[in-house]
Structure 1
């Protein structure tokens, strides 16, 4: 099965007729060879538009930092409970807030990489042209859900929940993870729709 890495230029070094339902992402078929997987990931990244390359790099970096701090906070709390025989409530609160951000950033990043769980057994049996339109329909549904999530998040953000009990962190900072992630996923979904339409077999034959 051919890989697809659209975006950066006029060329889509792909076999769209072979794997059109992956037109907006790079499907790593196997992780048996880590070096090959890393090389394919890097090649996919290079062919993204600049905006999404920056988003990809920044979100990955932020997630790594958050995960490191999260592990330190959880580890400190475990050490406190089992060694010092005392809990560290502030570290637990910090870990909870970081965990929320990691979840929503990870959802947006997985959407960009086309790595959310999907059952494609029926889609794989369709013709290339039909598969492309299924992808477009799928992304439109995702866009509707993301917009609904974004609008709900904006309503939540309009209410000031105050600050956290221990760290005195504005809870709006925590709530902002939802509209931020929804906004990213909305942009990614629009990009995926554009790529699916642009690289449709009918257009390439024209």
Structure 2
């Protein structure tokens, strides 16, 4: 196993643990929101906002992990529909397009979105968190997807069941 693959495995483990932490946090926040609203009759003001921000992070980072493990529904549908001679070609086209999307839309577009909200000074109304920090997950996810797509293109055997079926 190469050093690059070992580094990606460490990154996978860290991403997985971070997503677990976010899921536990959003579960606690929503549980507290329901408890404070219906039992204490004094709804918590920050939990709805916190849950919304956490769901943004969970969704985008979850997409990164799904892409890494070839569990992304759209990619699998395209690949599985291709006939045998075209599967290798489709594999490289798919991962090339994913990498291009990650760079153009997520990294560049996400950075521009963060920059715009930072210049406007937008912050969340209840928690006072700068919205640019919430949006920072977009370019972060783009960088991770780019790393994984480059891995898929350079080392296609490192993607489980990618070239087989």
Name the SS for the 1:89 alignment partner.
coil
1:99 positional shift: 0.9
Q: Flag the structure with higher helix content.
A: 2
Structure 1's consecutive aligned runs of 4 or more residues displaced over 3 angstroms after TM superposition are none
Distance (Å, rounded) in 1 between the aligned partners of 2:80 and 2:14: 34
Q: Whose radius of gyration is greater, 1 or 2?
A: 1
1:178 positional shift: 0.4
Whether contact under 8 Å (1:73, 1:95) holds in the other structure is: yes
Instruction: Please give the residue correspondences for 1:113-192 in structure 2 after superposition, counting only pairs within 5 Å.
Output: 113-117=69-73, 118-119=76-77, 120-123=79-82, 125-127=83-85, 130-149=86-105, 150-159=107-116, 160=118, 161-192=121-152
1:53 positional shift: 0.8
Name the SS for the 1:182 alignment partner.
helix
1:86 positional shift: 2.8
For this pair of structures, how many residues does the alignment match?
152
Name the SS for the 1:49 alignment partner.
helix
Give the unaligned 5+ runs of structure 2.
159-165
Name the SS for the 1:158 alignment partner.
helix
TM-score calculated relative to the size of structure 2: 0.83
CA displacement 1:60-117 (0-9 Å, x = unmatched): 1111111111001000111122212232120111111111111111011111111101
Name the SS for the 1:95 alignment partner.
helix
Distance (Å, rounded) in 1 between the aligned partners of 2:22 and 2:46: 16
Distance (Å, rounded) in 2 between the aligned partners of 1:183 and 1:142: 11
Q: 1:112 maps to what in 2?
A: 68
Give the unaligned 5+ runs of structure 1.
1-7, 10-46, 199-206
Indicate the RMSD between aligned Cα atoms, in angstroms: 2.2
